[in-house]
Copies of this chain bind each other. A is one copy, B any other.
Protein backbone atom coordinates (compact mmCIF):
# COMPACT_ATOMS: atom_id res chain seq x y z
CA UNK A 1 0.00 0.00 0.00
CA UNK A 2 2.99 2.33 0.30
CA UNK A 3 4.62 3.87 -2.76
CA UNK A 4 8.02 2.45 -3.55
CA UNK A 5 10.18 4.64 -5.75
CA UNK A 6 13.92 4.46 -6.36
CA UNK A 7 15.54 7.18 -4.30
CA UNK A 8 17.33 10.03 -6.08
CA UNK A 9 20.05 12.01 -4.38
CA UNK A 10 19.04 15.59 -3.65
CA UNK A 11 21.49 18.24 -2.64
CA UNK A 12 20.90 19.34 0.92
CA UNK A 13 23.10 21.06 3.43
CA UNK A 14 21.27 19.81 6.51
CA UNK A 15 23.82 18.50 9.03
CA UNK A 16 23.05 15.01 10.32
CA UNK A 17 22.15 13.46 6.96
CA UNK A 18 24.46 10.88 5.35
CA UNK A 19 23.87 8.68 2.31
CA UNK A 20 24.23 4.90 2.49
CA UNK A 21 23.83 2.09 -0.02
CA UNK A 22 21.41 -0.77 0.56
CA UNK A 23 20.95 -4.07 -1.19
CA UNK A 24 17.26 -4.95 -1.29
CA UNK A 25 15.06 -7.59 -2.85
CA UNK A 26 14.58 -5.35 -5.89
CA UNK A 27 18.27 -4.43 -6.34
CA UNK A 28 20.50 -1.73 -4.92
CA UNK A 29 19.23 1.56 -3.59
CA UNK A 30 20.55 4.62 -1.86
CA UNK A 31 19.21 5.26 1.62
CA UNK A 32 19.53 8.21 3.94
CA UNK A 33 20.57 8.07 7.58
CA UNK A 34 19.30 11.00 9.62
CA UNK A 35 20.56 12.01 13.06
CA UNK A 36 19.01 14.65 15.28
CA UNK A 37 20.18 15.90 18.65
CA UNK A 38 18.05 17.60 21.27
CA UNK A 39 18.35 18.50 24.92
CA UNK A 40 16.93 16.18 27.59
CA UNK A 41 17.56 14.54 30.94
CA UNK A 42 20.18 11.81 30.83
CA UNK A 43 21.74 10.31 27.74
CA UNK A 44 19.17 8.68 25.52
CA UNK A 45 19.46 6.97 22.14
CA UNK A 46 16.35 6.57 20.00
CA UNK A 47 16.47 4.41 16.86
CA UNK A 48 13.62 4.32 14.31
CA UNK A 49 13.01 3.28 10.71
CA UNK A 50 11.64 -0.28 10.86
CA UNK A 51 15.14 -1.66 11.52
CA UNK A 52 16.06 -5.27 12.31
CA UNK A 53 18.14 -6.17 15.34
CA UNK A 54 21.50 -6.15 13.55
CA UNK A 55 20.90 -2.68 12.11
CA UNK A 56 19.75 -1.40 15.51
CA UNK A 57 23.00 -2.73 16.98
CA UNK A 58 24.90 -0.85 14.24
CA UNK A 59 23.34 2.37 15.50
CA UNK A 60 24.38 1.55 19.08
CA UNK A 61 27.93 0.75 17.98
CA UNK A 62 28.14 3.90 15.81
CA UNK A 63 27.07 6.04 18.75
CA UNK A 64 29.79 4.56 20.94
CA UNK A 65 32.44 4.88 18.19
CA UNK A 66 31.73 8.59 17.87
CA UNK A 67 31.50 9.11 21.62
CA UNK A 68 34.85 7.40 22.19
CA UNK A 69 36.39 9.76 19.60
CA UNK A 70 34.81 12.93 21.02
CA UNK A 71 38.00 14.36 22.45
CA UNK A 72 40.00 13.42 19.34
CA UNK A 73 37.66 15.56 17.21
CA UNK A 74 37.56 18.49 19.58
CA UNK A 75 34.11 17.69 20.93
CA UNK A 76 33.44 18.27 24.62
CA UNK A 77 32.78 14.73 25.96
CA UNK A 78 30.16 16.22 28.26
CA UNK A 79 28.19 17.21 25.19
CA UNK A 80 26.72 13.69 25.32
CA UNK A 81 25.27 14.29 28.79
CA UNK A 82 21.71 15.55 28.81
CA UNK A 83 21.59 15.19 25.05
CA UNK A 84 19.22 12.87 23.30
CA UNK A 85 20.35 11.38 20.03
CA UNK A 86 17.77 10.12 17.55
CA UNK A 87 18.86 8.07 14.51
CA UNK A 88 16.28 7.42 11.79
CA UNK A 89 16.28 5.65 8.45
CA UNK A 90 13.37 6.56 6.15
CA UNK A 91 11.15 4.96 4.79
CA UNK A 92 9.15 3.45 7.62
CA UNK A 93 7.14 1.05 5.48
CA UNK A 94 10.24 -0.89 4.36
CA UNK A 95 11.98 -3.26 6.83
CA UNK A 96 15.78 -2.86 6.81
CA UNK A 97 18.56 -4.89 8.40
CA UNK A 98 22.25 -5.81 8.27
CA UNK A 99 25.47 -4.20 9.46
CA UNK A 100 26.44 -2.37 6.25
CA UNK A 101 25.09 1.03 7.29
CA UNK A 102 27.59 1.20 10.17
CA UNK A 103 29.97 3.81 8.73
CA UNK A 104 27.06 5.88 7.35
CA UNK A 105 25.55 6.00 10.83
CA UNK A 106 28.87 7.17 12.34
CA UNK A 107 29.10 9.91 9.72
CA UNK A 108 25.50 11.01 10.26
CA UNK A 109 26.05 11.26 14.03
CA UNK A 110 29.32 13.22 13.82
CA UNK A 111 27.73 15.54 11.26
CA UNK A 112 24.81 16.21 13.62
CA UNK A 113 27.10 16.86 16.59
CA UNK A 114 29.50 19.17 14.76
CA UNK A 115 26.82 20.89 12.67
CA UNK A 116 29.00 20.29 9.60
CA UNK A 117 27.11 18.95 6.53
CA UNK A 118 28.34 15.82 4.78
CA UNK A 119 30.22 16.31 1.46
CA UNK A 120 27.63 16.38 -1.35
CA UNK A 121 27.06 13.54 -3.86
CA UNK A 122 28.94 11.13 -1.55
CA UNK A 123 27.61 7.68 -0.56
CA UNK A 124 29.21 4.94 1.52
CA UNK A 125 28.74 1.34 2.69
CA UNK A 126 30.69 -0.63 5.30
CA UNK A 127 30.34 -2.35 8.66
CA UNK A 128 31.87 -0.54 11.63
CA UNK A 129 33.53 -2.26 14.59
CA UNK A 130 33.77 -0.85 18.07
CA UNK A 131 37.45 0.11 17.70
CA UNK A 132 36.64 2.02 14.47
CA UNK A 133 37.80 -0.59 11.97
CA UNK A 134 35.83 -0.73 8.69
CA UNK A 135 34.75 -4.21 7.50
CA UNK A 136 33.80 -5.26 3.94
CA UNK A 137 30.14 -5.82 3.04
CA UNK A 138 28.22 -7.62 0.28
CA UNK A 139 26.07 -6.58 -2.69
CA UNK A 140 28.70 -4.16 -3.96
CA UNK A 141 27.81 -4.33 -7.66
CA UNK A 142 24.10 -3.66 -7.15
CA UNK A 143 24.84 -0.88 -4.69
CA UNK A 144 27.26 0.87 -7.07
CA UNK A 145 24.79 0.77 -9.96
CA UNK A 146 22.10 2.30 -7.74
CA UNK A 147 24.45 5.01 -6.55
CA UNK A 148 25.37 6.03 -10.09
CA UNK A 149 21.68 6.00 -11.15
CA UNK A 150 20.86 8.29 -8.23
CA UNK A 151 23.48 10.89 -9.15
CA UNK A 152 26.21 9.98 -6.64
CA UNK A 153 29.81 10.83 -7.71
CA UNK A 154 31.94 9.63 -4.76
CA UNK A 155 31.76 6.35 -2.88
CA UNK A 156 33.53 5.20 0.29
CA UNK A 157 34.21 1.46 0.59
CA UNK A 158 36.28 -0.83 2.79
CA UNK A 159 39.69 -1.58 1.25
CA UNK A 160 38.71 -5.27 1.31
CA UNK A 161 35.87 -4.48 -1.14
CA UNK A 162 38.33 -3.19 -3.81
CA UNK A 163 38.29 -6.62 -5.45
CA UNK A 164 34.49 -6.37 -5.91
CA UNK A 165 34.87 -3.08 -7.81
CA UNK A 166 37.61 -4.51 -10.03
CA UNK A 167 35.16 -7.19 -11.17
CA UNK A 168 32.65 -4.60 -12.49
CA UNK A 169 32.82 -3.59 -16.18
CA UNK A 170 34.46 -0.15 -16.39
CA UNK A 171 31.55 1.35 -18.33
CA UNK A 172 29.27 0.89 -15.33
CA UNK A 173 31.52 2.83 -12.99
CA UNK A 174 32.80 5.62 -15.22
CA UNK A 175 32.35 8.98 -13.52
CA UNK A 176 32.51 7.45 -10.03
CA UNK A 177 35.42 8.05 -7.68
CA UNK A 178 36.10 5.30 -5.11
CA UNK A 179 37.66 6.02 -1.74
CA UNK A 180 38.99 2.87 -0.02
CA UNK A 181 39.35 3.04 3.74
CA UNK A 182 40.29 0.86 6.73
CA UNK A 183 39.23 3.06 9.64
CA UNK A 184 36.38 5.38 10.50
CA UNK A 185 38.85 8.25 10.85
CA UNK A 186 39.54 8.02 7.11
CA UNK A 187 35.78 8.08 6.49
CA UNK A 188 35.39 11.22 8.57
CA UNK A 189 38.25 12.93 6.72
CA UNK A 190 36.60 12.28 3.34
CA UNK A 191 32.98 12.85 4.34
CA UNK A 192 33.32 15.75 6.75
CA UNK A 193 36.83 17.08 6.10
CA UNK A 194 37.37 16.31 9.77
CA UNK A 195 40.87 15.46 10.94
CA UNK A 196 41.39 14.15 14.44
CA UNK A 197 42.58 17.28 16.25
CA UNK A 198 45.18 15.39 18.25
CA UNK A 199 47.04 13.86 15.31
Contact = CB atoms under 8 A, between A and B. Distances in A.
A140 B130 CA distance: 27
A3, A39, A100 — most chain B CB neighbours (10 Å):
A3
Given A32-B129, A46-B64, A99-B2, A58 B138 contact: no
Given A34-B131, A38-B67, A58-B92, A1 B80 contact: no
Contacts of A40: 43, 80-81
How many copies of this kind of chain does the complex include? Answer: 6
A142 to B, nearest CB: 10
Interface of A: 1-3, 5, 12, 14, 16-17, 23, 32, 34-36, 38-43, 46, 48-50, 53-54, 57-58, 60-61, 64-65, 67-68, 77-78, 80-81, 86-88, 90-93, 98-100, 102, 127, 129-131, 133, 135-139, 160-161
